[in-house]
Chain A
């Protein structure tokens, strides 16, 4: 019995509810920051526990699996929960100075914390219907955060976002219903056993593809048409949270279902996934290179990364999975960092058109060099965090003989570097056209960005030290039996 694994879900949830009773905004800020700091600490402790004791499970309410709902903390999920906690803490601090009174008064911090609770819940749940519930908790909070403030563009994009997500949630429930009709269970470990027993025939593979469509919509894997609009509408702190966390939960769900449950027909499912990933990378890069709008460039970069991570999964070897995982964690950090920095640029220059921004580095040297580090790390230049992920993914792809897609991965990395450097060269270098007085004021920007930059450097330089944890996570993904044993025979 490990009640501790409920804490990363429970602390943000309870704090979020609690904040509704407090009118004082400074108090709300303090409490929410403390809650996320504690969550970070607990998540780190959970990782320590898993590395010494193996997978932790909790049968909620004492109802044994497969009948009750199980929470499962394996290394893969725990690493993501820790990253979530750290990234959301940085976004929260950034929000203190940039989000504005109008949003703060309408329960901004509560919904921020609910979103974190939903994300952590999705990572830790061991029940596929519960996964749906946590998805909804996360999505409902994201609807609120997206529309809060009520600017014209926000409302327009919220409606699109809402429609897409309601439809995909509907397909999600439909797919769960099919799966339940065929196997008679919802517990993921039990599903894995049942699917292996009856064999993954055409019918089950079709259901698995339905899941791929649903999660693909959430993760922006090929079905990303909704993303560029809605992610560029909210204020930077919220956009960073979305870019770092929301699509990642979709990717997590693809990882979970296709390594634990539907891993018997890789020639169908994983091949399809690989080509979806390749297309995602190509189309995302085209968007990032073509746009001259700071927000749009960053948003398209989210899409490219999704393709690369899923490519690592579709190759399905230990090496490529380790790469995927490194890149997964790296991408959560770096996307938050990029969104926050781009947000700062936009606030300072008062425009998001890159042609109208120039020479910011004169008054903001530190910000400029942080952006430079972020750009290098994003493209995978050593010694930063993105490098290790890309190396392993490419190595895995080449060993498996997928030369074309691995080549696409490398080529798009170059173009990604170009697209972000475009912001650096045009926005930070050049003639300084704004005097200090004309610039917009930013507060609370440098500290969270520095922390995130430090994390990405640590991830790169400390790879030797973190490798043990990632290796344990991948071992769990490659051997579904560990997960099944922990849930069903504990």
Chain B
């Protein structure tokens, strides 16, 4: 049965952007403050799940045509590979470094290699949580 809920659909269209922005904020805040890849990834998953719930699975698949299993694996690959980079520089495994760069618009910004690690965690969390939720929903 196809049912459409105007209130939910309209609200979702706005809320989803707020949630996505919040997720990005949390992700970048994570370096020095509470937040980071894991929590950012969970919040982003919440946004995607909301989208799946409001519109049906078929529409959602058309809008987000990605294989979440691959996303998860790709994230894990990035996270582990940043650790492997330490082999090239002859420092202990998982060593991170950072530098200050003058970026347009942002001014002086701290860029850390742990950000790359966090990107990996972010993607791994989205991939695995979405895979779990989607496979459970398929069962019913």
Binding site for B on A (CB under 8 A): 1, 3, 6, 10, 13-14, 17-18, 20-21, 58-62, 71
Contact = CB atoms under 8 A, between A and B. Distances in A.
Interface in B53-86: 69-70, 73-74, 76-77, 80-81, 83-84, 86
A17 B70 contact: no
B12 interface: no
Contacts of B74: 21
Q: What 6 pairs across the A-B complex have the smallest Cβ distances?
A: A20-B73, A61-B94, A6-B93, A62-B95, A62-B92, A17-B76
B24 interface: no
B80 A14 contact: yes
Contacts of B69: 20
B17 interface: no
A61 B95 contact: yes
B92 A59 contact: yes
21 contacts: A1-B90, A1-B91, A1-B92, A3-B87, A3-B92, A6-B93, A10-B83, A10-B84, A10-B93, A14-B77, A14-B80, A17-B73, A17-B76, A17-B80, A20-B69, A20-B70, A60-B92, A60-B93, A61-B92, A61-B95, A71-B93
A58 B80 CA distance: 17
B38 to A, nearest CB: 14
B75 to A, nearest CB: 9
A16 to B, nearest CB: 9
A15 B102 CA distance: 38
A162 B59 CA distance: 36
Interface in B102-129: none
A420 B94 CA distance: 48
Contacts of A10: 80, 83-84, 93
Interface residues of B: mostly helix, strand, loop or mixed? helix
Contacts of B87: 3
A13 B80 contact: yes
Interface string B34-56: 00000000000000000000000
Interface residues of B, number: 19
Contacts of B86: 3
Contacts, number: 44
Given A3-B87, A10-B84, A58 B77 contact: no
Nearest to A58: B92
A212 B120 CA distance: 37
Given A3-B86, A3-B92, A60-B92, 16 more contacts: A1-B90, A1-B91, A3-B87, A6-B83, A10-B93, A13-B80, A17-B73, A17-B77, A17-B80, A21-B70, A58-B93, A59-B92, A61-B92, A61-B93, A61-B94, A62-B91
Contacts of B84: 10, 14
Q: Which among B70, B77, B92, B96 has the greatest number of chain A C-beta atoms within 10 A?
A: B92
Contacts of B96: 61
A71 B94 CA distance: 12
Nearest to B74: A21
A349 B70 CA distance: 40
A21 B91 contact: no
A3 B76 CA distance: 20
A14 B78 CA distance: 10
A60 B73 contact: no
B117 to A, nearest CB: 10
B138 to A, nearest CB: 15
B74 to A, nearest CB: 8
Nearest to A107: B69
A283 to B, nearest CB: 39
A3 B93 contact: yes
Given A3-B86, A3-B87, A10-B84, A18 B77 contact: yes
A309 B104 CA distance: 65
Nearest to A60: B94
A21 B72 CA distance: 11
A144 B97 CA distance: 36
Q: Which among B70, B81, B92, B93 has the greatest number of chain A C-beta atoms within 10 A?
A: B93
A17 B94 CA distance: 18
Nearest to B91: A62
Q: Which among A1, A6, A10, A17 has the greatest number of chain B C-beta atoms within 10 A?
A: A17
Contacts of B91: 1, 62
Nearest to B81: A14
A10 B92 CA distance: 14
